[in-house]
């Protein structure tokens, strides 16, 4: 499917970098979920950093996952997620 995740990387402050098969890239913030049910376990940074992909979905070892619809609806496109980085990258050295 076109919304399958092809890359996921843990970032500081309980965020993940995500690339979707259709070419979209962005940052998803999990902080709003850390007080909810099974997601509480993600507060442990070592565990949070074990994020992976299973059948095209973002998952963790104890079966926490982010529904693709949620990921796509709440993911900030890379350009919006870190505009300062874009500015600094284009600055002459």
Q: What is the pLDDT of residues 25-81, one digit of tens each?
A: 999 999 999 999 999 999 999 999 999 999 999 999 999 999 888 999 999 998 776
**CA 39/CA 64 separation, integer angstroms:** 7
Q: Which domains does the chain have, with CATH numbers?
A: 5-90 (3.30.2020.10)
In this structure, what token pair is assigned to residue 41?
């376990």
**pTM of the full structure:** 0.82
Q: Return the pLDDT at 90.
A: 41
Strand segments, DSSP code E, in the chain are 5-11, 15-20, 25-29, 52-54, 57-59, 65-66, 76-77
Per the CB < 8 A criterion, the answer to whether 62 and 50 are in contact is no
Q: Confidence class of residue 82 from pLDDT cuts 50, 70 and 90?
A: low
């Amino acid at each position: 499917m076109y919304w399958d995740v092809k890359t996921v990387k843990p970032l500081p402050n309980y965020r993940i970098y995500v690339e979707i098969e259709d070419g979209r890239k962005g940052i998803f913030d999990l902080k709003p979920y850390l007080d909810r049910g099974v997601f509480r376990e993600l507060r442990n940074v070592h565990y949070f950093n074990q994020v992976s992909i299973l059948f095209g979905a973002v998952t963790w070892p104890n079966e926490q996952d982010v529904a693709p619809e949620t990921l796509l609806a709440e993911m900030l496109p890379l350009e919006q997620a870190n505009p300062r980085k874009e500015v600094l990258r284009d600055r002459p050295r």
